[in-house]
Amino acid sequence: MSKGTVVLAYSGGLDTSCILVWLKEEGYDVITYLANIGQVEDFDAAKKKAESLGAKKVFIEDLRAEFVEEFIWPSVQASAIYEDRYLLGTSVARPCIARRQIQIARQEGAQYVSHGATGKGNDQIRFELTCYALYPEVQIIAPWRIPEFYNRFVGRKDLMEYAEKHGIPVPVTPKAPWSMDANLMHISYESGILENPKSHAPADLYLMTKNPEDAPNSPDVLEIEFKKGVPIKVTHVKEGKSKDTPLDIFSYLNEMGGRHGVGRIDIVENRFIGMKSRGIYETPGGTILYHAHLDIETFTMDREVRRIKQGLGVKFAEMLYNGFWYSPECEFVRHCIDKSQESVEGKVQLSVFKGQVYILGRESPKSLYNEELVSMDVQGDYDPCDASGFIKINAVRFLVPYSLIIFHSSSHTI
């Protein structure tokens, strides 16, 4: 008799194929689920493979549009960036994937979900927190954290042997000496030879962006139009070509960014699990959007609102990285950030060239920039004498004798 039904997040690769078979061995009915979030993949082949391995049902789900609209767009609004550098391309995909997995589990009456994420990474957390949040009674089977599984499959060799034994097609090309995760937003590379933080990434690692050295010798100039903090249109200024649905916009920015080698980073980051890891990422479209959004936001948002929103954005990035997309606090922060974006609209012109994004200019019907007020040539309503009072009052704190002691006693003494 079946122990029950499990919905397995299935990639089509060796690991999750072995997990599929192993779960069956363990007595579960297995439904496989493969999300299309923009990675390069032969979805038909994966489907057939899952079926041939005994999946009771196979779901291939195209989540690309909702991934962009419901997950990437809020991250753009938030200027979400983890530890000042990482644009969170993997993190933001996880709740999107897991949400559908839970929908399938509920719809199919499955009490279990399973995934092939490792026990040292962030993804297990991101998947599972989403599952618990959306389906609190769910039971999660994470083979890479189950001693019977991970002690049996200590290395790739064990998986290969198991695969051969169980008729699982074995990859013919050798595995790259690193692991990668790809989606519409980015590709990440880690592990293997990249674990040595000192060694440089090989030049042929990158799949999504051109090597800037080989990129075109002249820039492409784009105009991105924003409304409520999200792009609603991108136009290639010279060619006049434009895109205006979320998925098209984002894909086009990926194409442009990829062509010019935009968005490569090599970082050491802090995992939620408490260890530092080295990751290499390429996020072409996301990098362009990050810069463009920052520009239009500063142009249209009040200084003090932005300061508060900036703090919320930092918190949002941490939540996202740690897997708390579906949590009361992240819902709350997304709401607040969304509110802050109400008047973030207008057009930004930028060029992409040899790995870099250059902001060229911006305009907005909701700009808070006042050309007359700021002009050096026009006095306008502004009375420069006011500045004297402003400065003097700001210095009042310094006039109390003791307050000065702090720095007079410092090394910066005059």
Shorter beta-carbon distance to a second copy: residue 165 or 412: 412
14 binds a second copy (CB under 8 A): no
| Interaction of residue 399 with a second copy, rule CB under 8 A | yes
Residue 173 near a second copy by CB under 8 A: no
Residues 343-362 that bind a second copy (CB under 8 A): 343, 349, 353-356, 358-362
**Interacting residue with a second copy among 97, 142, 168, 224 (CB under 8 A):** 142
- The verdict on whether 386 is a catalytic residue reads no
The verdict on 286 binding a second copy (CB under 8 A) reads: no
Catalytic residue among 145, 152, 158, 179: 179
Indicate whether 189 belongs to the interface with a second copy (CB under 8 A): no
106 DSSP 8-state letter: H
Distance between CA atoms of residues 285 and 308, nearest Å: 26
- The catalytic position among 123, 181, 220, 295 is 123
Residue 198 exposure: Cα atoms within 13 Å on the Cβ side: 0
DSSP string over 314-346? HHHHHHHHHT-SSSHHHHHHHHHHHHHTTT--E
Please tell me which residue in 17, 91, 94, 114 is annotated as part of the active site: 94
Number of residues counted as binding a second copy (CB under 8 A): 141
Which one, of 369, 347, 371, lies nearest residue 360 by Cα?
347
Phi-psi region of 354 (alpha: psi -120 to 50; beta: other; left: phi over 0): left
Query: How far is Cα 180 from Cα 81, in angstroms, rounded to an integer?
Result: 20
Has 179 been annotated as catalytic?
Answer: yes
For the bound state, the minimum distance from the C-beta of residue 165 to a second copy, rounded and expressed in Å, comes to 23
- The yes-or-no answer on residue 29 being catalytic is no
Does the footprint of a second copy cover residue 404 (CB under 8 A)? yes
* Active site annotation includes 123: yes
Judged by CB under 8 A, the chain residues 289 through 348 that form the site for a second copy are 294-295, 298-300, 302-312, 314-315, 318, 323-324, 326-329, 331-333, 335-336, 339-340, 342-343
Q: What share of the chain is helix, strand, coil (3-state, %, to 5)?
A: 45, 20, 35
Residues contacting 27, CB < 8 A, separation 6+: 1, 2, 3
What residues are annotated to the active site? 15, 94, 123, 179
